Amino acid sequence: MDRKDYQIVRALMRDGRLTNQDLAARVNLSPSPCLRRLRLLEERGVITGYAAVVDQKSMGYPITVFVGIRLSRHDRETVERFERSIDEIDEILDCFLMTGAIDYQLRVVAPDLDGYERFVRDRLHAIDGIASIDTSLAFGIVKQSRILPMPG
């Protein structure tokens, strides 16, 4: 990737609805070369998709919870079962494989504290192989960004 590719990616991270004309103007290219570069970035997997950024409170999920999971066993079957199960639960927005005291860090949304309790009891406890669940509630958001820094 060269500097122009990074400019294209950054412009789209800021506004994924840019037309090719607007994108080309923003990165100082003519439309045809801009579109060619964009298609190559998509083909190479640099740009993996486009999505609307939605306010979670407006959708009825004002509560954000960070959940640390430690598995009871680390054999292939337990790990694969856990990861398949997590992938099927819509309230889990992110799942990171971790180093240290916990095995996974989840970012979960809930409508309220009772809803989070139901989520733990009905969804997480149903997954075999979980040894512990550690919950931290987010009081608010100081910074939330999907815009990656430019290299260099």
Q: So what's the pLDDT on residue 59?
A: 97
Pick the CATH number of 3-43 from 1.10.10.10, 2.30.30.110, 3.30.70.330, 1.10.3720.10: 1.10.10.10
CA distance 87 to 89: 6
Q: So what's the pLDDT on residue 9?
A: 97
Instruction: Tell me the pTM.
Output: 0.88
Sorting pLDDT into bands at 50, 70 and 90, what band is 18? Answer: very high
Sorting pLDDT into bands at 50, 70 and 90, what band is 71? Answer: very high
What does the domain layout of the chain look like in residue ranges?
3-43, 63-137
Provide the CATH topology of domain 63-137.
Alpha-Beta Plaits (3.30.70)
Q: So what's the pLDDT on residue 86?
A: 97
Mean pLDDT, residues 99-117: 98
Mean pLDDT, residues 140-144: 93
pLDDT digits (tens, 9 = 90+) for 46-59: 999 999 999 999 99
User: How do beta strands 63-71 and 104-110 pair?
Assistant: antiparallel
Give Dmax over CA atoms of the chain in angstroms.
Answer: 57
Mean pLDDT, residues 70-82: 97
